[in-house]
Amino acid sequence: MSDAIILTSYSVAAVAYLLLLAMLAVSWRGRLEGGLLLFAVGGMVMWSGVNAWQLAYRSIPMPLIWSLEILHLLLWLMFLIRLVPPQIRRQIAWRYVLLGCYGIAVVSFLYGWASPMLQGWRPGFLLPELPLIGQLVLSLAGMVTLEQLYRNTRPDMRWYIKFLCFGLGGLFAYEFYMYADALLFKQLDARLWAARGFVSAMLVPLLAVTAARNPDWSLNAFISRDFVFHTTVVLGAGLYLLLMATAGYYVRLYGGKWGEVLQVTLLAGGALILLVVLFSGQARARLWVFLNKHFFNYRYDYRKEWLRITHELSQPDSPVPLGERVIKALADLVESPSGVLWTRNDSGRYLLKAQWGNPFSDLSWMSDGDPLVAFLQRTGWIVDLQELKEIPEKYIDLALPAWLESSEDAWLVIPLFHGEVLWAVVLLNRPRASFDCNWEVFDVLKTAGCQAASFLVVEETANRLIEARQFEGFNRLSAFVVHDLKNIVAQLSLVVRNADKHVNNPEFVRDAMNTVDHAVAKMGRLLAQLKNIGSEQNNKLIVLRKLLQEVISARAGQLPRPRFVCRVDDQVALMAQPDRLASAFEHIIQNAQEAAGKQGWVKVTLSSTASQAIVEVEDNGPGMDDEFVRERLFKPFETTKGLSGMGIGAYESREYVRALGGDLTVESRLGEGTYFRFLLPLVTREERTCQSTGVSV
């Protein structure tokens, strides 16, 4: 048999399978089956191409050729096994059969590399028996797998795989017959070997028809739009430079004395024009629209656009306000250079919130009764102003306001809905390049508009929350101030009531002056506290024993006088605002005095651990039940004192102690008294050293 015939046979097979491979790789998208099919077809391309190359040049090692003999059948077998129903693949016997086939293929492969017994590549030479047996087993396994696939496919679905079974069945049967003949006669039949390339090529139409009938086998081939865009730009720039170089060559050749000068001038001018075009927004926009329109099924790469919009809107630290970022995110979808955003306020007006680019309009507000706003609320449509002028009957009952109708640059009016509420309106200007708006563009803009509206709502809600917290802080501060003023007024009122009776008593006068002095000092501290509320810059190093002694001395004018037990020295100190901490202690001690009554007792104890100072305030008053302690004691404006109480003292004390990093706990039993415990963090030795010059009490 002539080598030319064999070369032609395998060359035809290589070309046929290469065309099939190109069709599958370019046109298909989808699942694993498509990937296995591509691998199998690629194996056929390699197998037939290597055989053709060997017949022409005889330069490929025999073990490699023998490996491809095994590989091209093994890849088809793997593809078929994937198509077999899962319940068949899970059978133990079937698994053992497949495992045996793979084992024989591996052994044949290793044997082919370890014992290269083939000395030339011509039909008629003797072959080792083991590789022949391996090829027979693989061919037989392929026919068995095809039989299982066809038999276990529903009759109404066999139409989809009929030609696949015909094609691969013919391939495996031909291989089985050829290698069985070689095993029987100890040599390959030259005619069978020569015809194998033509036979394999005849199977390509059957495989192509099967592939067309089963698009769900597709390979998920993806070509990035950015890749296409930049590749087109680079290719276009290269062709342009090539043309300019060619023109420069002919100018130099036929330009005479001016040839070289004209060539340099032409090349410099061409390079300058290229730079202008590459950096032209209009040119880039036109190219982008052209590629999306003519080279892709969908205009947008939705994954990329969604990530871009999300990234554009979710930048809390961006120096660009959210309103401008919303306009830009929508404008980039349609290549618009500028736009305006109006957002809804509580009165129903739509106020100008942001401008981006160089928009034509600076309208400060629109009312909800505006015809344009009413139309957007009623329909939810995106209004194409150019289409409105050309086909006004499409937008029934829409009358444009005068400021918008007279504009030549206005293009799209986009409603931004949050739920059922029209939260904002965006007006975009005409794009740099002609942009055809179809249903896909409108759907993308509506979806992006809903997402943008959500971000605008979140920002508005956050701003209102900040404002509410500011008012809450002011209201809490007012309550604390009123509570302290109430105590001062009560002390001064007591002095006034007893003044007429004891005005001539020197002891009373001295106590009265002390009370007035204490009230003045307390009001001074209160004013300082109001001035610096919430600031930690006024924290000072406080020796706790001295602070408690001052507080107890101030409360000694009311019975029962507190008894102070100190179990620490002056080394126990902490960082706090002296006035606020003293106020917290005084609230609790005063409550204990009022609960114990004039005949009772109040004890204040100071102790410490390695990291905490412990201040205990104990009284023998009537106590409180567990429900009151749990539900009402530290709840603002809950009090047991009737009209004379505010219910804020215990709450204020605990909140400030917790702000310092400590805690205030309470234990109380009815008829036995109450026990408050302050747990306060102590300063470290290093902090005390740093603050040693600022000790304050």
Q: How many angstroms separate the CA atoms of 592 and 558, rounded?
A: 11
The reply to whether 545 and 635 lie within a common domain is: yes
The reply to whether 323 and 448 lie within a common domain is: yes
pLDDT of 398 over the 70 cut: yes
The reply to whether 238 and 148 lie within a common domain is: no
Q: Mean pLDDT lowest for which of 84-93, 316-325, 365-374, 571-580? A: 84-93
pLDDT of 638 over the 70 cut: no
Task: Tell which residue, 338, 379, 341, 373, has the closest CA to residue 358.
Answer: 338
Q: How many angstroms separate the CA atoms of 73 and 109, rounded?
A: 12
Please indicate, yes or no, if residue 636 is contained in any of the structural domains. Answer: yes
Which pLDDT does position 105 carry in this prediction? 58
Q: How many angstroms separate the CA atoms of 388 and 377, rounded?
A: 18
Q: Of 186, 217, 248, which residue is a domain's last? A: 217
pLDDT in tens, 19-29: 888 888 766 55
The reply to whether 190 and 230 lie within a common domain is: no
The reply to whether 245 and 374 lie within a common domain is: no
Distant-in-sequence, close-in-space partners of 240: CB < 8 Å, separation ≥ 6: 270, 274
Distant-in-sequence, close-in-space partners of 647: CB < 8 Å, separation ≥ 6: 635, 636, 637, 638, 639
Please indicate, yes or no, if residue 286 is contained in any of the structural domains. Answer: no
- The CATH number of the domain where 387 resides is what? 3.30.450.40
Which pLDDT does position 80 carry in this prediction? 85
Q: Mean pLDDT lowest for which of 271-275, 370-374, 651-655? A: 271-275
Please indicate, yes or no, if residue 417 is contained in any of the structural domains. Answer: yes
| Residue 83 tokens, joined | 């198509």
**Sheet (strand 602-608) strand order:** 563-566, 602-608, 612-619, 673-681, 663-669
Does the model's pTM come out above 0.85? Answer: no
The reply to whether 308 and 190 lie within a common domain is: no
Which pLDDT does position 618 carry in this prediction? 93
Segment 66-83 mean pLDDT: 82
Task: Tell which residue, 526, 523, 615, has the closest CA to residue 577.
Answer: 526
State what percent of residues in the chain have pLDDT above 70: 71
Q: Mean pLDDT lowest for which of 48-62, 328-342, 643-657? A: 643-657
Which pLDDT does position 119 carry in this prediction? 44
Please indicate, yes or no, if residue 690 is contained in any of the structural domains. Answer: yes
Q: Which domain holds residue 260?
A: 225-279
pLDDT of 222 over the 50 cut: no
Please indicate, yes or no, if residue 528 is contained in any of the structural domains. Answer: no
The reply to whether 658 and 567 lie within a common domain is: yes
The reply to whether 245 and 208 lie within a common domain is: no
The reply to whether 205 and 230 lie within a common domain is: no
Q: Of 217, 237, 261, which residue is a domain's last? A: 217
- The CATH number of the domain where 596 resides is what? 3.30.565.10
The reply to whether 105 and 139 lie within a common domain is: yes
User: In total, how many domains does the chain have?
Assistant: 4
Q: Of 217, 249, 268, which residue is a domain's last? A: 217
Average pLDDT, the chain: 77
The reply to whether 249 and 109 lie within a common domain is: no
- Tell me the pLDDT band of 604, cut-offs 50, 70 and 90: very high
- Tell me the pLDDT band of 292, cut-offs 50, 70 and 90: low
The reply to whether 237 and 212 lie within a common domain is: no
